Amino acid sequence: MTAPHRPLRRTWWPWLPLVAVVLIGLVVGALGSTGPSSNDDRIFAIAKQIKCPVCAGETVAESNVESSQIIRDEIARQVEQGRTDEQILTSIDRSFPDKALLLTPPASGLSGIVWVLPVAALVLALVGLAIAFRRWHEPAGERADDTDRALVAEALSHLDEGAPTRP
């Protein structure tokens, strides 16, 4: 004899840890960095975003060649002038039109797709997994329709005819 079939109960509590991790990640990502604390830190942070025009695989902050030193001096000069990080990066990028020196693409315009696409892919993957898990746990073809109900009613009526009456 088999155990009676219990319908699956849908609960949301297993999803709570995932929601908590995502929310914590968003809060840390939004509030985690306060930016450089001094001009030297800011110069170093900007220099880390620019490739060395001569060296392979090094940033301007890491390289000791003359061209990297000139770029660091230019960054320091523009920081002292009060320019924003974006203005400084744009200025350095325009100074070398034949080379792509920026390690991070701009987050606006067509280049913004580089930033949005991985997040959109992750969200679509999570939605796809949720749909797949829901279908996986849902019993297929076990739902009663009107024909099934009529058969059960007929069988019960035949049982009631032959069964003794109860007080």
Dist. CA 91–CA 156, nearest whole Å: 85
Largest CA distance in the chain: 105
DSSP structural state of residue 164: P
pLDDT of residue 138: 67
Dist. CA 144–CA 65, nearest whole Å: 78
Q: Which fold has domain 37-104?
A: Helicase, Ruva Protein; domain 3 (1.10.8)
Instruction: List 50's β-bridge partners, or say none.
Output: 102
pLDDT of residue 124: 93
pLDDT of residue 1: 47
Q: What are the 10-residue block averages of pLDDT along the chain, 167 residues in total? A: 55 78 81 73 91 88 91 93 90 83 73 81 92 77 81 85 57
Q: Where are the domains of the chain?
A: 37-104, 105-138
Sign (positive or negative) of CA dihedral 122, 124, 130, 136: negative
pTM comes to 0.49
pLDDT of residue 163: 57
